Amino acid sequence: MEFLSNVINGISLGSIYAIIALGYTMVYGIAKMLNFAHGDVIMVGAYVCFFMTSRYDMPVVVGILLSMFVCTVLGIVIERLAYKPLRQATSLAVLITAIGMSYFLQNAAQLLWTSNPKVFKSVVGDGGIQIAEGLYVSHVTLVTIAVCVIIMIGLTIFTGKTKMGKAMRACSEDKGAAQLMGINVNTTISITFAIGSALAAIAGVLLCSAYPNLVPTTGSMPGIKAFTAAVFGGIGSIPGALIGGVLLGIIEIFAKAYISTEISDAIVFAVLIVVLLVKPTGLLGKKISEKV
Amino acid sequence: MDKGKIHEVISESIIPERDQNKRPVLECSHLGITFGGLVAVDDFNLTVGATEIAGLIGPNGAGKTTAFNLLTKVYQPTRGTILLDGQDTRGMSTMQVNKAGIARTFQNIRLFDKLTVEENVKIGLHNQIKCSTVSSILRLPNYWKTEKEAHEKALELLSIFDMQDMADYKAGSLPYGAQRRLEIVRALATNPKLLLLDEPAAGMNPSETAELMENIRKIRDTFQIAILLIEHDMNLVMGICEGIAVLNFGRIIAKGSPEEIQANPTVIEAYLGKKKED
Amino acid sequence: MKGKKTLNKTSKNNFITMGGLLLVYVIVLILKEGGITTNLINGQLVPICAYMIMAISLNLTVGILGELSLGHAGFMSVGAFGGVFVGTLMQEVSDSKVLCLLVAVIAGGLMAAVAGLLIGVPVLRLRGDYLAIVTLAFGQIIKSIVNILYVGLDSEGLHVSFIEKCEVLDDGKLIISGAMGATGIRKLSTFTFAFIVLVVCLIVIFNLIQSRTGRAIMALRDNRIAAESVGINVTKYKLLVFSISAAMAGMAGTVFAYNYSTVAPTKFDFNTSILVLVFVVLGGLGSIRGSLIAAALLTLLPELLREFSDYRMLVYAIVLILVMLGTNNPKIRDFFAKMFARKKTAKEENANG
């Protein structure tokens, strides 16, 4: 039973990683950049939701929607101000800018909301379901998994069927050709950032519902792990983000349960290195061959 | 394989009379590669004599550059064998093939852009003039000796194309033609037995091309090496190649002297398409 | 003749860098002895040297070899704790402070070099961002392992344990105690010692770059396929760079650790790796002098901004973003390129006339 309970908890944690990883992977697929500030957008989303629901006593739904709205705008603004001018620059320059943006968000949050931890009230309440003896699953866990499934299905339909989704895939294949086909590349990139950031807000709310300690650096470690998950599954691939995220979550929970909490991170990263050694472009990543 | 054995030259070979001992430096047999179901090069048989200038021509997308990539192991061939001076290059890496004696230039120029012209040539001399990392860091006498040697050798090689004066320029800042010439010098610096030139005259004007033809001959005569070149400029190919192979859809469709190739109906068809029956 | 001039030009630049560094060292030393510098700055001298070594060694990997590394602090960590460990053992044998420190620095460097070789192996199979993530993962692993590592020394010998604190007799002590890190370190590092280590690293890097080995490394950076096609051994040179770079980071770690009485593993986390990467990128990829200046300024800047303590990291972040936007703006870059070109032509005219 303990095993089963760990699996469920792992899938739940992994679902959060997967939702964050989606933001990384979509942005990477289209803009070919590592958006290091993504983890901090999660934190902003969690703070917005916290203030709306705990301070101003708004309904949870309004809190979540507002937090998604704020993060979406934030994502678009970050992209326009900091990343768009660097479209032609080296990937390292973009990476450093993204790191700068991450520092900026963390420190701005610290100034605005101080570094005192906030206790986040779970958006789905504290209860849970006793499925069987020794198998208790909290509501947050179930909701997280359900939300992740819904998002995955939604995104798959969006990228596969809608015009915008097709434009995104076209841009990630070849920006120049996409532009020649009449696709507005800038708008497409902005929309990708918008979707990724809205997802980050959801991830932030879910993350803090499960682990209620909210500080300005809340987003950074889950951000790094989710990024790892995206690479694990093959960066640029949406199903890859799901598989990578869930696997990472399960490995982490199992390492915590059966080995040691302190070295669970080391185990997660060690597994990542081994996977990359066997499959250098991740589980579902495309093989890139250099043209000579 | 017995190293001393002189390889029998197969009848379809294109070794010129000039090659006294008829010793081939390159023998490919049944070479081929498949990219995920797509047969890019198939049944590629080619022999190049030790001091021959040979041409590999064919329409765009025929697989010429792929053939070069197979010879230099940028791609590992799916099938077939490559003998370089009698030595099987099976399992070798690009680096090992170069050490064994094949040097090349690239269709889309691949210089070390941020380094100077002289440094580019010195990198070509990497396996010719050696100095250990430790003696370099400690600046032992061997370092100064080899650096001087490399400097002199680099200038000497650059003088083939009269490029000594450009030694200090960044390779990336050179004009196009000079970049192509520098790539040839860099390849020569590795002391090859066989030099592969991928479209050496691309982007050059007629007078530059004429000069290049002279220089290719000069290189062969001075260094006594074999040269295999891919080129679309038929004046150059017909002007300097002693033997020509024509590639179409990944297969060699004709081999022979320039005159034979020019008269070959299959070749004409490959280039111009089938004549309409009317 | 021309070739000789190039050599001189690069060498001249290196001499200027070295000379400038010596000059700064002498000035700082005089100011320090004269009691003009504040304690705040005095306390930063050894860390600045350590960060300078970190920056130039990372520049070797990122700027000269062209491979992104996000785990450089991991090597610093190996060097810091490895060095302190060996140094403490040395103290049992020898009373000489300098000898202890020297042995510790060398040991720290060697241990980090081994770690560099270990991480170098995946490097051979991976490219670009995938490689970067592996170096990141490696840094996290090192941090986690040191976090649970306990090493004690007493009359019965060495005790090593993970997670659980190891038992140490009353006559001994814990050298490394988990998340607390290394405690009870004797503050052996001096500004002069740190400076000497820096100069040694600098000479090694300068000499390495201007040699057959250095050219092979830069060839790999500029065009890997072309480098292979002229017979350069990719495996050998990548591993070489990773181990040299790691060794230097390890030495920096030991020097750094010996400046404090306590060093926690969190000192060498992901943020430190990023900080050093920022030094390298802001100083200019491949520019050793730039790395030195950026490391010194950016280590001092937050200290000098302490008055604005609340805002300093925010300002730092904004400066970082603006500098990146500015240096990568084609208009601004063209402007500088033109300025530079004008200066150059003027010089040439002078030479001709």
Please give the domain boundaries of chain C with CATH numbers for all domains.
38-146+179-352 (1.10.3470)
Q: Which residues of C touch B108 (CB under 8 A)?
A: none
Note the pLDDT of residue C83: 93
CB C246 within 8 A of CB C115: yes
| Average pLDDT value over all residues in chain B | 87
CA dist., res. A72 & res. A195, Å (int): 7
How far is Cα B260 from Cα A112, in angstroms, rounded to an integer?
83
pLDDT, position C252: 97
Contacts of A292 in chain B (CB under 8 A): 65, 69, 74, 106
Is there a domain that residue B106 lies in? Answer: no
Write down the pLDDT at residue B2: 39
- What per-residue confidence (pLDDT) applies to C204? 96
Query: Which residue in B226, B167, B176 sits closest to B205, CA to CA?
Result: B176
Domain ends where: B191, B223, B245?
B191
Higher pLDDT, C332 or B90: B90
**Looking at the predicted structure, is the pLDDT value of residue C218 above 90?**
yes
Mutation site, B94, B121, B149, interface C, largest C CB count within 10 A: B94
* One domain, residues B97 and B80: yes
Give per-residue pLDDT as tens, C259-295: 998 899 988 988 889 889 989 988 888 899 999 999 9
- The end-to-end CA distance of chain B, in Å, is 56
Residue A54 included in any domain = yes
* Count of Cβ atoms closer than 10 Å to residue B39 Cβ: 15
Distance separating alpha carbons of residues C148 and A158, to the nearest angstrom: 46
- Is B6 a residue whose pLDDT tops 70? no
The predicted pLDDT at position C157 comes to: 74
> Are B136 and C212 in contact (CB < 8 Å)?
yes
Residue A285 has what pLDDT? 75
Report how far residue B14's alpha carbon sits from residue B255's, in angstroms, rounded to the nearest whole number: 7
CB contact under 8 A, A276 and C134: yes
How far is B163 from B160, CA to CA, in rounded Å? 7
CA angle A258, A264, A265 (to 5 degrees): 170
Name the closest residue on chain A to residue C67, using Cα atoms.
Answer: A92
| Neighboring chain C residues of B150 at a CB cutoff of 8 Å | 212
- Domain termination site, one of B138, B165, B191: B191
CB contacts, 8 Å: C124 with chain A? none
pLDDT bin (cut points 50, 70, 90) of residue A292 is low
**Within-domain flag for A147:** yes
A166 or B23: whose pLDDT is higher? Answer: A166
Q: Determine the Cα–Cα distance for residues A124 and A137; give it in Å rounded to an integer.
A: 13
Q: Determine the structural domain holding residue B6 and report its residue range.
A: 1-101+192-271
> How large is the ipTM?
0.87
* CA separation for the pair A141, A156 (Å, rounded): 23
Answer with the residue of higher pLDDT: C55 or B275: C55
Residues B16 and B143 in one domain: no
CB contact under 8 A, C321 and A82: yes
The pLDDT confidence band at residue C309, using thresholds 50, 70 and 90, is low
- Report the neighbours of B using a cutoff of 3 or more CB pairs below 8 angstroms: A, C
Q: Is the pLDDT of residue C1 over 80?
A: no
Q: What is the pLDDT of residue C156?
A: 74
Tell whether C300 lies on the interface with B, counting CB pairs under 8 A. no
User: How far is C71 from C63, CA to CA, in rounded Å?
Assistant: 15
CB-CB contact of A169 with A159 (8 Å): yes
Distances (CA, A) of B170 to A116, B113, B163, C325: 55, 7, 13, 27
The SS3 assignment for C37 reads coil
Give the mean model confidence (pLDDT) for residues A249-258. Answer: 92
Domain total of chain B: 2
From chain B, the residues in CB contact with C231 under 8 A are 95, 98-99, 126-127, 190
Q: Is B71 part of a structural domain of the chain?
A: yes
Q: pLDDT tens-digit profile of C99-121?
A: 999 999 999 999 999 999 988 88
**Which range among A142-146, B38-42, B174-178, C304-308 shows the weakest confidence by mean pLDDT?**
C304-308
Query: Which ranges in chain A belong to alpha helices (H)?
Result: 2-31, 38-50, 60-78, 91-113, 139-161, 163-173, 175-180, 185-210, 220-233, 238-254, 264-278
B146/C contact by beta carbon, under 8 A: yes
C72-93 and C97-125 helices, crossing angle to 10°: 150
- B to C CB pairs, distance under 8 Å: 112
User: Does residue B81 sit in the same domain as residue B45?
Assistant: yes
Asked if C222 lies within 8 A of B186 by C-beta distance, the reply is: no
Whether residue B16 is found in the same domain as residue B96? yes
What pLDDT score was predicted for residue C231? 94
More confident residue, C334 or A45: A45
* Banded pLDDT at C351 (limits 50, 70, 90): very low
The CB-side HSE value for C61 (13 A sphere, CA atoms) comes to 34
Chain A residue nearest residue B72, CA to CA: A292
Q: How many residues does chain C have?
A: 353
Look at C125 and A272 and tell me if their CB atoms are within 8 Å: no
Mean pLDDT of C215-235: 94
In chain C, the N- to C-terminal Cα span, in Å, equals: 20
Residues B18 and B93 in one domain: yes
Residues B211 and B236 in one domain: yes
Taking CB atoms and an 8 Å limit, are C320 and A96 in contact across chains? yes
C287 to chain B, any CB pair closer than 8 A? The answer is no
Do B94 and B219 belong together in one domain?
A: yes
Q: What rounded mean pLDDT belongs to chain A?
A: 88
With cut-offs at 50, 70 and 90, classify the pLDDT of residue A95. confident
pLDDT band at A87 (very low <50, low <70, confident <90, very high): confident
Mean pLDDT over each residue of chain C, to the nearest integer: 85
Residue ending a domain, choose from B143, B161, B191: B191
Interchain CB contact of A292 with B (< 8 Å): yes
The nearest alpha carbon in chain C to B166 belongs to C2
Instruction: Decide if B257 is inside a domain.
Output: yes
Distance of CA B150 to the CA centre of its chain: 23
Contact with chain C for residue B131, Cβ under 8 A: yes
Interatomic CA distance for residues A2 and A6, integer angstroms = 6
The pLDDT tens digits for B91-125 are 999 999 999 999 999 999 999 999 999 999 999 99
Contact C262, C180 (CB under 8 A): yes
A-contacting chains (≥3 CB pairs under 8 Å): B, C
- Using alpha carbons, select from A4, A65, A108 the residue that is nearest to residue A202: A65
A110 to chain C: closest CA residue: C310
Angle at which helix C39-59 crosses helix C288-304, to 10 degrees, equals: 150
pLDDT of residue C245: 96
- Residue A126 confidence (pLDDT) above 80: no
Chains near C, with 3+ CB pairs < 8 A?
A, B
Say if residue B267 is in the same domain as residue B202: yes
Lowest mean pLDDT among A46-50, A285-289, C7-11, C198-202: A285-289
In a shared domain, residues B116 and B91: no
pTM of the model: 0.86
- CA dist list (Å): C72 to A20, A78, C53, C96, C133: 26, 28, 11, 31, 12
Distance CA A32, CA A94 (A): 10
* A275 lies in some domain: no
The alpha-carbon gap from C205 to the nearest alpha carbon of chain B, in Å, equals 8
CA closest to C278 among chain A residues: A96
Q: How many domains, chain A? A: 1
Would you say residue A227 lies in a domain? no
Greatest Cα pair distance in chain C: 80
> Considering the domain boundaries, does residue B51 fall inside one?
yes
Question: To which H or E segment does residue C49 belong?
Answer: helix C39-59
Taking CA atoms, C226 is separated from B97, B110, B187, in Å, by 13, 6, 10
Of the candidates C6, C204, C214, the beta carbon closest to that of B116 is on: C6
Same domain, B162 and B25: no
What residue has token string 């040839």? B184
The reply to whether B254 falls in a domain is yes
> What 3-state DSSP class applies to C181?
coil
Our CA-based measurement puts residue A89 at a distance from the nearest CA of chain C, in whole angstroms, of: 6
pLDDT at residue B7 in the model: 39
Q: Is the dihedral of CA C258, C264, C265, C267 positive or negative?
A: negative
Q: Does C232 lie at the interface with B, CB-CB under 8 angstroms?
A: yes
- % pLDDT > 70, chain B: 90
pLDDT of B11 higher than 60: no
Parent domain of A30: 13-220
The amino acid that residue C316 corresponds to is Y
Residues 141-200 (A) with a CB less than 8 A from some CB of B: none
Q: Are residues B64 and B76 in the same domain?
A: yes
pLDDT, average across residues C332-340: 69
Residues B86 and B207 both lie in one domain = yes
Strands A213-214 and B87-88: unpaired
Q: Calculate the CA dihedral of residues C23, C26, C32, C33 and round it to 10 degrees.
A: -160
Element (H, E) at B142: helix B141-158
- Nearest Cα of chain A lies from the Cα of B192 at a distance, in angstroms, of 21
Question: Are the C-beta atoms of residues C268 and C253 closer than 8 Å to each other?
Answer: yes
- CA–chain centroid gap for B239, Å, is 17
pLDDT above 70 for B46: yes
Q: What is the pLDDT of residue C304?
A: 75
Asked whether residue B277 is domain-assigned, the answer is no
- Is pLDDT of B22 > 70? no
